[in-house]
Structure 1
Amino acid sequence: MSNMKVLVVDDDEKIVKVLTAYLEKEGYTVITAKDGLEAVDKARKLEPDIILLDVMLPSLDGWEVCKEIRRTSAVPIIMLTARDAEMDRIIGLELGADDYVVKPFSPKEVIARIRAIFRRLQPIERESKEGVSQIGGLVLNKNNHIVTLAGTPIEVTPTEYKLLELLLAHPGQVFSRLQLVENIQGYAFEGYERTMDSHIKNLRKKLNALPDEPHYIKTIYGVGYKLAGEQNA
């Protein structure tokens, strides 16, 4: 992990100090920012591999920072929040965050979340012609991690990519929210399965961007979600 750069964004010096110590011990290179504007600037210029982003920040709050970064980058983002309200967590996820940790947290938990996201970036092992999965105009190429819709590349976050990869590997199969969490996050904890709806919502927006393309992700009410259509050979 020595080549992995982590951008830690928090105005609490104690939290930054503790996280930096734990991350460096694990072999990560740590970059820090103490306010929202500095975070956006460093995210663009230094291109970290993952961002730990506090919600309550000077200049720009974490939600605005997340929104701004998502305009140009799919870098994994873990929100750090002192507010244990479900709506706060859902807002972050709907803006494109991949995960969240509620303060006070254990640094070891943060490390575990980072590892889970990096595991998520690894392709699901399955048989697929030349590493390509396709349904209709939707194509996922696991060789270069590029997703295209009707020939046009679409920007997806690591969580969204993993969702598509799982659904494309099992077209027509219905997955409950909890199954999606366990398959994609690599772990499950109370309350998270409902926030999977936020990732599905974001992904649907991107997949339905073209008016002549079908609605790929179907809701099976009371059960979960499935990818509709026949997989191309």
Structure 2
Amino acid sequence: MTKVLLIDDDVDLTTLLQEYLTEEGFEVTATEDGRAAIALAVANTVDIIVLDIMMPHMNGIDVLQRIRRLSAIPILMLTAKGDDVDRIAGLNLGADDYVSKPCSPGELAARLKAILRRSGSAVAGAVPDLLRAGNLVMHPGTRAAEWRGKPLDLTGTEFSLLEVLARQAGQLVSKQDISKHAFGRPLMPFDRRIDVHLSSIRQKLGMREDGQSWIQSVRGHGYQLLQDR
């Protein structure tokens, strides 16, 4: 069973989500203690984390930052509705997705399953495929990547976004298509997660010799992964 860790001090919401996710086939552990959550994440005792931003003693941003220093475990944030500051901060620090509170248990379960599909390992015995785009080599089966011959450290969401661009390297890919292929759903109005995650990927790839970013944006249209000259 997939092990989910709920980190939230809202007892009523946590109880509701725990009951629903258990019925959906998840094994759920709940805590409101950020330090305990960090220990569980680092010890690899859970498969995915649902993390509330607003918590006593240690807020969710601090918990996220400490976990990301030690683990690439998938993390879905719970944010206050309309709170773009926390949302963007979380995505910049490596969160894989977010859901605004109040949220339905069904939506949360669907988001968790989508993240797990994106970050899942290859099926046992399967031969992972290989994707090459210039200096970039990606292994979708194992979710590993190399850039210029060295390992490229990507979160699950970053891997999914870069894979979409790599499969169409040299071509402009609309944000709508990126969202559908990377997140499995249409792009919603005012949703900036693609921009935030791609900004992080740009930093990891560095600059071209001509001073340009390897990932070009065309305002209002989409993004393009440049090919080697």
Identity of aligned residues (%): 39
Unaligned runs of at least 5 residues, structure 2: 122-127
Q: Deviations over 1:109-153 (max 9, x none)?
A: 100111121232369xxxxxx722223322112232211122221
- What aligned pairs does 1:177-216 form with structure 2 within 5 A after superposition? 177-188=175-186, 190-191=188-189, 193-208=191-206, 215-216=213-214
The answer (yes or no) to whether the contact 1:9–1:32 under 8 Å persists in 2 is yes
For the pair 1:41 / 2:39, whether they are aligned, the reply is yes
For the pair 1:224 / 2:222, whether they are aligned, the reply is yes
- 1:214 deviates by 7.4
**2:125 paired residue number:** none
Distance 1:162 1:219, change over 3 A: same
The answer (yes or no) to whether the contact 1:76–1:97 under 8 Å persists in 2 is yes
2:107 & 2:166 partners in 1: Cα distance? 30
For the pair 1:12 / 2:16, whether they are aligned, the reply is no
Unaligned runs of at least 5 residues, structure 1: 124-129
1:61 & 1:92 partners in 2: Cα distance? 11
1:174 & 1:32 partners in 2: Cα distance? 43
2:102 & 2:63 partners in 1: Cα distance? 21
The code of the aligned residue for 2:214 comes to Y
The code of the aligned residue for 1:136 comes to G
The answer (yes or no) to whether the contact 2:175–2:194 under 8 Å persists in 1 is yes
Q: Which runs of 4+ in 1 moved over 4 A?
A: 209-214
1:117 & 1:192 partners in 2: Cα distance? 21
Distance 1:220 1:117, change over 3 A: same
Cα RMSD, aligned residues only: 2.6
Counterpart pick for 1:92 among 90, 93, 115: 90
Alignment coverage as a number of residue pairs: 224
Give the alignment's TM-score, normalised by structure 2: 0.87
Give the alignment's TM-score, normalised by structure 1: 0.86
- What aligned pairs does 1:96-175 form with structure 2 within 5 A after superposition? 96-121=94-119, 131-175=129-173
